[in-house]
C-alpha cells in the first residue's frame, strides 16, 4: 500500500530507500516494545504473561496465512490443521528422537510445510472458492488421521499426547514466564522472514498472482510453482505456531483448539488486522484475542446477574457472537483492517491540527 | 467389504443422501442467483431446527409460550426463516456486493459464528433430544431380502418420511425454478445481473428472495435431521458434508446437488461396511476424500457448467 510521504521526506540512497525502519523514533518503538514483552515476567500479572504467549504463537500462524491469503490471494480454511501437524511433529521428534525442542521447531515447520504442499496440489486445477474447499478437506482429514492412525504414536482415538517441556541444559522453560522468551525469539525471526519475503522475487510473484493471475503468468511467473511455494510457507508458519503452542500447553491433540472454528478465527484475525500488510497479523491477533477475553468477561458478568439456569449458556456464547459481529463489522466498514486505520491515523496526526 | 451389510448400507445411504441433497439445494439456490457460497447454511439449518423445537413448546419447563403441533410449528419456523433470510441479505450481504470472494466467504463464516452464539444463548447449549417427531424414532420397517445380514433390511420409518419429504421438497424447488415467474427471474439473475435488470427484474429483491427460500429449505432440512437425531448445536456440521455433495454435483446444478447428496450418503454408508477397521472409521471423512478426488479429476463436478476458470 503506497502511502504518500510528505514533501521533503525523501531518500538519498538505495540503502535508505530499502529501509524498513526509517526514523529514530521507530527504532525506539521497536526496542521499547521488545523490551516491554521481554520484561513482562517481572512486572506482568499471570494473565498478561499467558496472554502474551497466546498472542505470540497466534501471530505466527496468522503471518503464514497472510503470505498465503494476504499476498498470494489463495483462501485457506485449513491453517489450524497445519498447526496440528506442526505440534505433532515437534512432539514426536522430541519424544522419540530425543532432540532438543529448538531443533524440533524447524523440523516441525518443514513437516507441516510438506503436508501443506499436499493439500495445495488442487491449486494446480482450481482456484478461489474451489481451493477453499480443498483446504476445508484438510481441516477434516488431518485431525481424523491423527485420531485413527498410528495409535501408539499419535494417541489413538483419545487423540492427545503429552509434549515435553523444552529445556536448555538444565534450564526448563516450564512456565509461561519463561516460555515467553522462546515465543518472542521465534516471533522476531518469523517477522523478519515474513517482512523480507514480500520484497524478494518470491514475494513480488505472490502479489502478482493475487492481483491478476493471467498477467502474472504472461510475465513469466510459474503459477503452480509459486502457489505451491505460498502453501509451503504458510503451512511452515502454521507448523511453527503449532509446535510452539503444543510445547506451551504441554500437550497436543485435536481437542486443544485446532478445529475449523480456529481456522476461521485465524482468517478473521487476518482480515481485522489487514490483509497483505506486515503489521496486520500483530494488530489482528492481538485485537481478536483481547476481544475473546473481553467476551468471556462480559459473559461471566451477565451470568452473574441473570437467573441461574442461564449461566451455562451465557458463559460460552459471547465469544462467537463477538467474533462474528467484529468480523462482519470490519468486512462492511473497514475491509482493509486495522492496519489501514493505523495509516489513516498517522496521516491525520502528521497534519494535526489541520484536516488537509 | 462385508457384502452382507451392503444392501442395508445402500438403502440407508440413499435415504440419508436425499436429506443431504436437500440441504445442498439450499446452498446451490443462493449460489445460483447471487454467486455467494453460503457457509452459514448449516447454522441456518440448526437455527431452523431450534426455532421449530421452540414453537412446538418442547422446552417443557412450564413457561413455554407456544405449544403448536409439529406441522404448525414447522410453518411458523418457515416464516421466521423467511424473515431471517431477508434480513441477512439486507444487512450483511448487500454491502458486500462487488467485494472480493474472500470477503464474501468470510462474511458468511462470521454470520455462522454469530448465529451459533445467538442460538446457544436463546436455546441453551444442551442437545434437545425431545424434538417432536410424528412417530417414535425406534420404529422400523423390516424388509426381507435374502442377501442382507440376517435376511432382513431394517429401515427407520422416520428416515423414510424424511426421504419422502426431501424428495417432495426437491420436486417443488425444481418446479419453482422451471415454471414460476419468480423462479424464472432468479435464473435470469443468475445468468447475468445487468441483463436481468434491463428487462425489469428487481435484482436486489431476487437476492433477498433467494436467501429467504434458502432459509426455508435449511429449516426443512433441519427439521428432518432433528426428527432423526434431536436438535443440537452440532447439527450445523451436517452442512459440511453437503459441501462435497455440492461440488460433486456441480456448483450451479440443482439436480447435481441431489445426485451429489445421494452419492455422499452412499459413500458414507458403504465405507462403513468395510472389513478393515481403519476404513470403517473413515465414514466421517469419506465425503472429503471424495471431494479431493473430484477437485483433482473433474473440478466442475458431474453436472456443472464448464465455465470454471482453469489454471
End-to-end CA separation in angstroms for chain A: 20
A218 contacts chain B (CB < 8 A): no
Mean pLDDT of B297-307: 70
Shortest CA gap A276–chain B (Å): 13
Task: Using CA atoms of A219, A222, A223, A225 in order, give the dihedral in degrees to the nearest 10.
Answer: -160
Nearest CA in chain A to B110: A324
Residues of A in contact with B87 (CB under 8 A): none
Which residues is A172 bridged to in the sheet? A167
Residue B309 pLDDT > 60, yes or no?
A: no
Q: What is the pLDDT of residues B22-80, one digit of tens each?
A: 888 888 888 888 778 888 888 999 999 888 888 887 666 656 677 777 788 888 889 99
Residue A286 pLDDT > 50, yes or no?
A: yes
Q: What is the pLDDT of residues B81-118, one digit of tens each?
A: 999 999 998 888 888 877 888 888 889 999 999 998 88
Q: Is A137's CB within 8 Å of B292's CB?
A: yes
Q: What is the pLDDT of residues B129-181, one digit of tens each?
A: 777 777 776 777 777 766 666 667 777 788 888 888 888 888 888 888 888 88
Shortest CA gap A95–chain B (Å): 25
Q: Count Cβ–Cβ pairs < 8 Å, chain A vs chain B.
A: 142
Q: What is the pLDDT of residues A293-316, one digit of tens each?
A: 888 888 888 777 776 666 666 777
Question: What number of residues does chain B have?
Answer: 311
Contact present, A221 and A209 (Cβ < 8 Å): yes
- How many Cβ atoms sit within 10 Å of the Cβ of residue A290? 12
Which residues is B270 bridged to in the sheet? none
Grid cell at residue A249? 500447553
Q: Is B291's CB within 8 Å of A133's CB?
A: yes
**Can you give the pLDDT at residue B190?**
79
C-alpha A167: how far from chain center: 24
Confidence of residue A32 (pLDDT cuts 50, 70, 90): very high
Residue B15 pLDDT > 50, yes or no?
A: yes
At CA B186, angle to CA B183 and CA B188, rounded to 5?
115
**Can you give the pLDDT at residue B64?**
66
A223 contacts chain B (CB < 8 A): yes
Residue A133 pLDDT > 90, yes or no?
A: no
Q: Which helix (H) or strand (E) holds A171?
A: strand A171-172
Out of B112, B125, B295, closest to residue A125 by CB: B295
Q: Calculate helix-pair angle for A337-351, A260-273, nearest 10 degrees.
A: 20
More confident residue, B90 or A254: B90
End-to-end CA separation in angstroms for chain B: 38
Domains of chain B: 3-297 (1.10.3470)
ipTM of the complex: 0.87
**Can you give the pLDDT at residue B1?**
65
Amino acid at each position: 500500500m503506497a502511502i504518500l510521504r510528505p514533501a521533503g521526506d525523501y531518500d538519498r540512497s538505495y540503502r535508505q530507500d530499502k529501509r524498513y525502519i526509517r526514523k529514530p523514533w521507530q527504532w525506539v518503538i521497536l526496542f521499547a516494545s521488545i523490551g516491554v514483552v521481554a520484561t513482562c515476567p517481572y512486572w506482568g500479572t499471570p494473565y498478561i504473561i499467558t496472554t502474551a504467549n497466546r498472542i505470540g504463537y497466534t501471530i505466527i500462524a496468522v503471518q503464514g496465512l497472510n503470505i498465503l491469503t494476504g499476498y498470494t490471494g489463495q483462501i485457506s480454511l485449513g491453517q489450524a490443521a497445519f498447526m496440528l501437524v506442526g505440534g505433532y511433529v515437534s512432539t514426536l521428534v522430541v519424544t522419540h528422537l530425543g532432540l532438543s525442542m529448538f531443533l524440533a521447531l524447524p523440523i516441525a515447520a518443514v513437516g507441516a510445510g510438506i503436508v501443506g504442499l499436499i493439500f495445495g496440489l488442487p491449486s494446480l486445477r482450481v482456484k478461489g472458492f474451489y481451493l477453499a474447499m480443498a483446504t476445508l478437506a484438510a481441516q477434516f482429514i488431518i485431525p481424523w488421521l491423527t485420531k485413527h492412525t498410528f495409535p501408539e504414536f499419535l494417541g489413538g482415538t483419545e487423540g492427545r499426547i503429552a509434549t515435553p517441556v523444552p529445556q536448555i541444559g538444565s534450564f526448563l522453560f516450564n512456565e509461561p514466564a519463561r516460555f515467553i522468551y522462546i515465543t518472542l525469539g521465534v516471533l522476531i525471526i518469523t517477522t523478519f522472514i515474513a517482512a523480507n519475503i514480500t520484497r524478494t522475487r518470491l514475494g513480488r510473484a505472490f502479489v502478482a498472482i493475487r492481483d491478476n493471475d493471467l498477467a502474472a503468468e504472461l510475465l513469466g511467473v510459474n503459477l503452480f510453482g509459486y502457489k505451491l511455494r505460498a502453501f509451503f510457507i504458510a503451512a511452515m508458519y502454521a507448523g511453527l505456531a503449532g509446535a510452539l503452542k503444543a510445547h506451551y500447553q504441554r500437550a497436543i491433540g485435536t481437542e486443544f483448539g485446532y478445529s475449523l472454528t480456529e481456522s476461521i478465527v485465524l482468517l478473521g484475525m487476518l482480515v481485522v488486522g489487514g490483509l497483505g500488510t506486515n503489521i496486520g497479523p500483530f494488530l489482528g491477533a492481538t485485537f481478536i484475542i483481547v476481544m475473546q477475553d473481553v467476551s468471556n468477561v462480559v459473559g461471566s458478568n451477565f451470568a452473574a446477574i441473570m437467573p441461574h439456569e442461564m449461566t451455562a449458556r451465557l458463559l460460552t456464547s459471547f465469544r462467537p457472537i463477538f467474533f462474528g459481529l467484529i468480523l462482519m463489522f470490519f468486512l462492511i466498514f473497514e475491509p482493509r483492517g486495522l492496519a489501514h486505520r493505523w495509516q489513516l491515523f498517522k496521516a491525520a496526526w502528521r497534519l494535526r491540527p489541520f484536516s488537509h | 467389504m462385508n457384502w452382507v451389510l451392503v444392501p442395508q448400507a445402500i438403502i440407508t445411504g440413499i435415504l440419508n443422501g436425499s436429506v443431504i441433497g436437500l440441504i445442498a439445494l439450499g446452498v446451490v439456490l443462493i449460489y445460483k442467483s447471487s454467486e455467494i457460497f453460503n457457509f452459514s447454511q448449516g447454522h441456518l439449518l440448526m437455527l431452523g431446527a431450534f426455532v421449530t423445537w421452540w414453537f412446538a413448546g418442547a422446552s417443557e419447563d412450564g413457561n413455554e409460550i407456544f405449544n403448536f403441533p409439529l406441522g404448525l410449528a414447522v410453518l411458523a419456523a418457515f416464516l421466521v426463516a423467511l424473515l431471517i433470510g431477508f434480513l441477512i441479505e439486507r444487512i450483511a450481504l448487500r454491502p458486500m456486493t462487488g467485494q472480493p470472494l474472500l470477503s464474501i466467504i468470510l462474511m458468511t463464516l462470521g454470520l455462522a459464528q454469530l448465529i451459533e452464539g445467538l442460538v446457544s444463548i436463546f436455546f441453551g447449549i444442551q442437545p434437545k433430544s425431545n424434538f417432536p417427531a410424528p412417530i417414535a424414532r425406534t420404529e422400523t420397517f423390516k424388509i426381507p431380502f435374502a442377501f442382507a445380514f440376517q435376511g432382513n433390511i431394517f429401515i427407520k420409518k422416520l428416515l423414510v418420511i424424511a426421504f419422502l419429504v426431501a424428495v417432495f421438497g426437491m420436486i417443488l424447488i425444481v418446479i419453482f425454478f422451471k415454471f414460476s415467474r419468480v423462479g424464472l427471474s432468479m435464473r435470469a439473475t443468475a445468468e447475468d445481473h445487468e441483463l436481468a435488470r434491463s428487462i425489469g427484474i428487481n435484482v436486489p429483491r431476487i437476492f433477498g428472495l433467494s436467501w429467504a427460500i434458502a432459509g426455508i429449505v435449511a429449516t426443512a432440512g433441519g427439521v428432518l435431521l432433528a426428527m432423526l437425531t434431536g436438535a443440537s448445536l452440532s447439527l450445523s456440521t451436517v452442512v459440511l458434508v453437503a459441501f462435497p455433495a455440492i461440488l460433486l454435483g456441480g456448483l450451479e446444478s440443482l439436480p447435481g446437488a441431489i445426485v451429489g447428496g445421494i452419492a455422499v450418503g452412499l459413500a458414507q454408508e458403504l465405507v462403513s461396511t468395510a472389513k478393515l477397521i481403519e476404513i470403517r472409521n473413515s465414514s466421517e471423512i469419506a465425503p472429503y476424500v471424495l471431494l479431493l478426488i473430484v477437485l483433482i479429476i473433474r473440478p466442475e463436478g458431474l453436472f456443472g457448467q464448464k465455465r470454471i476458470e482453469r489454471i
